[in-house]
Structure 1
Amino acid sequence: MAFKKRFTPRRKFCRFCADKDLPINYKRPDILRDFVTERGKIIARRITGTCAHHQRLLTTEIKRARQMALLFYTSTHSSDVLKKSSL
């Protein structure tokens, strides 16, 4: 008699709580891009695993980076900008 092994998902953890030296700053768009979808939406904390405190900080910093044009609002906007810059 074979028993089917149940899948147990790995527990999500906050990257910023685990690594205290990892800054949440609008000047670091490479880190912020991990928390934004291709369409430009901010990914929910239940998917990313960040804690509530750091999710609030992430949201404000992503919005600041968008305002400073370090992050794009949408993916179509980014492709238009890249096309114009290559001309």
Structure 2
Amino acid sequence: MAKQGFFKKKNLSDNPNFKIDYKDTKFLSRYISEKGKIMPSRITNVTAKTQREIARAVKRARFVALLPYVAN
């Protein structure tokens, strides 16, 4: 059985002061599927901490109607 390769998780930005914000809908839309679901971290290749921050920001943006709950 062959060994599987190791993929390093990527940082979102080179800027160390970058914050994930629920008002940045252009950034958050990269992590939402065509059906409107939040994409898993195994697909987006972000760390678990960053995935939680993205999910929290997407849910807040949906609550204040900046992002749709479902796609059209």
TM-score (norm 2): 0.80
* Alignment RMSD (CA, Å): 2.3
Deviations 1:14-56 (A, max 9, x none): 3326542432110101100000001110000000000000000
Runs of 5+ consecutive residues of structure 2 not aligned to the other structure: none
Classify 1:53/1:17 alpha carbon distance in 2 versus 1 (closer, same or farther; 3 Å).
Answer: farther
Identify the residue that residue 25 of structure 1 maps to in structure 2: 21
Aligned residue type for 2:54: L
Aligned residue type for 2:58: I
Runs of 5+ consecutive residues of structure 1 not aligned to the other structure: 1-8, 77-87
d(CA) in 2 for partners of 1:68 and 1:35?
Answer: 18
The answer on whether the counterparts of 1:16 and 1:23 sit within 8 Å (CA) in structure 2 is no
Aligned residue type for 1:57: E
SS in 2 for 1:15: coil
TM-score (norm 1): 0.67
Identify the residue that residue 74 of structure 1 maps to in structure 2: 70
Aligned residue type for 2:62: R
Moved over 6 A (4+): none
**% identity of equivalent residues:** 34
Identify the residue that residue 43 of structure 2 maps to in structure 1: 47
